[in-house]
Amino acid sequence: MQKGTINVQTENIFPIIKKFLYSDTEIFVRELVSNAVDASQKLMTLSAAGEAKGDFSDLKVKVILDTKKKTLTIRDNGIGMTSEEVNKYINEVAFSGAEEFLEKYKDKDPKSIIGHFGLGFYSSFMVSDKVQIQTKSYKPKSSPVQWESNGNPEYELTEIKKDDRGTDIVLHISKDSKEFLEENRIREILNKYCKFLPVEVEFGTKQESIDDPKGKKDKDGNIEKVSIEVPNIINNTQPAWIKKPVDLKDEDYKSFYNELYPFTEDPLFHIHLNVDYPFNLTGILYFPRLKNQIELQKNKIQLYSNQVFITDSVENIVPEFLTLLHGVIDSPDIPLNVSRSYLQSDSNVRKISNHITKKVADKLSGMFKKDREDFEKKWDDIQVFIQYGILTDEKFNEKVKSFNLLKNTDGKYFTTEEYKDKVKTAQTDKNDKLVYLYTHDADEHHALIKNAKDKGYDVLILDGPLASHYITKAEQEMGVSFARVDADTIDNIIAKEETIPSKLSKEQEDSLQPIFEKTVEKEKFVIQVESLSETEKPVLITQSEFMRRMKEQQAVGGGMNMMGNLPEMYNLVVNSNHPLTSKIVESKGKKQTALAKQAVDLALLSHGLLKGKNLSEFVERSFELIKS
């Protein structure tokens, strides 16, 4: 037996490991299983180099839970260690030794070796009162040994009996970590971190149906099925992203998507990433059907390092708008367990981020050029993603200009240049500036849209959560102005030189102000009398484009919050040329008030602004007016 003290920099390393090494103690499972896979891959690398003899086709990692003994064991039949190697890698170095191995075999097959994750093996002390390593090296005539420590720098190293090559890490789980003695908890962690490791990981057993070995048949002559217990392999060692695109069909990509996100709608399309210079990057990114949902779709990209799951928070690795995509990114060149600021300044991370952005833009551009009709069918699902990219990433913004589409209320799609040509004749105002009319809801603005189209104007649909931000950016870059169809009367929006004379005298127009002030809350409405066409409504509700847009931007972030919470303000426009307006002017007393109130309530109703008591009174008044 050998007793000694681990050669660490400070005697306080174990308390630090137990309390501060990782924010989630469950990470120890990833560390230990990754190291076990590492040991298996090292043996394969040695075999390929001719330095290890034998059949190594049975390499496997087993996770064994013993609730009676209160132990959790991670077992591999990989490279193993001699007593000298235990002293070196466990007692002296205090790291997994993967880096040294990687350096030694860098010219042979470095991609197959998992790099270390911090302090690796020592993460086991976060959840254990005692840890044992029982190991036997692949080297001929090596003696198996056991290393044991109870969570302080002192250890014991003894020879033991062990017939099989490889290493067992036996964790004696502490009382305050008893959750790791629950089968479901361990299965959950393995599914999270080890689902795609390159070496089979076995945990427990499962029932499997097979043909009866004795050939027993049922009454229809078919061989009966029997249920047997088989090892439960928790991982797919050959996930789609490590394969070549030429070897995969669309069905394979969809199948892998369902493996990542069970019970979800199929994605629209995918992008396969495969780069080995000047950085290593593989992965598959999927475009989900966003349907104007932003927050619900985030954090669905999973980051791996050589098939070991790291995180699903990749906002520091890819541009923010790309976090709306789903899928997998795998790169050993992304530094792990480092600060956000370090990630953002790391040159490899920047290169990877720029590459993914370019690939996404190129994919979209290629789809548009190859089959515009199909691209347009997908537009409603991807427009929020593209708008997000336009708003947050200038490089992406430059790339998408040729295929960024605008959709009108007739369901037709236009590039920004095509749309400019379409409306420049009818929708250029007196200052020679193009005016783009739009709606966020074609049903809500049905009457306003019809009125605009009757006048020869076109109306766009801009209905996403980012619409107000996107419109502001588009105005700056395209040199046009956007106005929602309820922002003002159409004639004022387009601002033509010609004006329609009023049928009312100045005195009659002035009399309308106090009449209509009685019908609404003064703090919410500004009364305006305008001479519009007789075909226009007698009363219209409009809202300042600027103020409404600022409120919308505040609601989704990025608005002018220094202005405080903006009040809900509307313009009540009275059309002096409508026959009902003349009738209101000519009426007296209660009838005048009732007619004015009825006209206002109809306008409010058409905008969904008439509710509660006011709506009930409107219904009663309508019946009275019909009777009279």
- Residues near 611 by Cβ (< 8 Å), separated by ≥ 6? none
Are residues 116 and 18 part of one domain? yes
**What is the domain-level CATH number for residue 361?**
3.30.230.80
pLDDT at 165 over 90: yes
The token duo for 397 is: 């913004």
Count CB-CB contacts under 10 A for residue 525: 18
131: pLDDT strictly greater than 90:
yes
pLDDT at 292 over 70: no
Inside any domain, residue 210:
no
Angle at 476 between CA 414 and CA 409, to 5 degrees: 30
Q: Are residues 529 and 487 in the same domain?
A: no
Q: Report yes or no: 391 and 469 within 8 Å, Cβ to Cβ.
A: yes
The average pLDDT across 328-334 equals 89
118 confidence band (pLDDT: 50, 70, 90): very low
Residue 558 lies inside a defined structural domain of this protein: no
pLDDT value at position 249? 96
CA torsion, points 319, 320, 323, 325, in degrees to nearest 10? Answer: -70
In the listed set 348, 380, 412, which residue is the last one of a domain according to the structure? 380
Same domain, 88 and 142: yes
Q: Give the tens place of pLDDT for each residue, 603-613.
A: 899 888 888 99
User: In terms of DSSP bridges, do strands 201-211 and 61-66 run parallel, antiparallel, or are they unpaired?
Assistant: parallel
pLDDT digits (tens, 9 = 90+) for 222-275: 888 888 889 999 999 999 999 999 999 999 999 999 999 988 889 999 999 999
Q: CATH no. for residue 439?
A: 3.40.50.11260
Structure tokens at 183: 């089968």
Asked if the model's pLDDT at residue 340 lies above 70, the reply is no
Residue scoring higher pLDDT (565 or 529): 529
At residue 373, the pLDDT reads 97
CA distance 79 to 363: 43
User: Is 459 contained in some domain?
Assistant: yes
Average pLDDT value for residue range 338-353: 70
- Which of 299, 248, 311, 306 lies closest to 281 in space, CA to CA? 306
283 and 415 co-located in one domain: no
Q: According to the model, what pLDDT value does residue 95 have?
A: 39
- Whether 501 is covered by a domain: the verdict is no
pLDDT band at residue 11 under the 50/70/90 scheme:
very low
Which of helix, strand or coil describes residue 557? Answer: coil
345/300 same-domain check: yes
Give 108's pLDDT tier (boundaries 50, 70, 90): very low
Say which amino acid occupies 535. Answer: T
Segment 512-552, tens digit of pLDDT? 999 999 888 888 888 999 988 888 889 998 888 888 888 77
Residue 376 has pLDDT above 90, yes or no: yes
Residue 467 in domain? yes
With beta carbons less than 8 A apart as the criterion, state whether 390 and 396 touch: yes
51 compared with 316, residue with greater pLDDT: 51
Q: What residues make up the domain containing 413?
A: 404-494
Encode burial over 495-508: b for 16+ CB neighbours within 10 A, e otherwise: eeeeeeebbbeeeb
Chain position carrying tokens 């709608």: 265
30-84: pLDDT as tens digits: 989 999 999 999 999 999 888 888 888 899 999 999 999 999 999 999 999 999 9
CATH of the domain at 76: 3.30.565.10
179 and 257, same domain (yes or no)? no
Query: Using one digit for the tens of pLDDT, what is the confidence trace for 428-473?
Result: 888 888 999 999 999 988 988 998 999 899 999 998 888 989 999 9
Partners of 311 in the beta sheet? 303
> Same domain, yes or no, for 456 and 365?
no
Average pLDDT of the chain is: 85
Q: Is residue 356 part of a domain?
A: yes
Do 422 and 446 belong to one domain? yes
Residue 129 has pLDDT above 50, yes or no: yes
Dist. CA 576–CA 506, nearest whole Å:
10
Say if residue 109's pLDDT is above 50.
no
Residue 369 has pLDDT above 90, yes or no: yes
Per-residue confidence (pLDDT) for residue 627, from 0 to 100 = 77
In the chain the first and final C-alpha atoms are separated, in Å, by 110
- What pLDDT, on the 0 to 100 scale, is given for residue 299? 64
Q: What CATH number should be reported for the domain holding residue 618?
A: 1.20.120.790
263 and 297 inside one domain? yes
- 234 within a domain of the structure (yes/no): no
Contact of 132 with 72, CB cutoff 8 Å: no
> How many domains are contained in the chain?
4
Does 467 share its domain with 518?
no
CA-nearest of 451, 448, 447, 604 to 516 is: 604
Flag the least confident range among 14-28, 184-198, 382-396, 433-447.
14-28
Residues 419 and 370 occupy one common structural domain: no
Mean pLDDT of 145-160: 90
For 318, list phi and psi in degrees, rounded to 5.
-120, 155
Domain end position, chosen among 204, 224, 254: 204
Q: Is the domain of 511 the same as that of 486?
A: no
pLDDT at position 102 is: 45
**392: in domain:** no
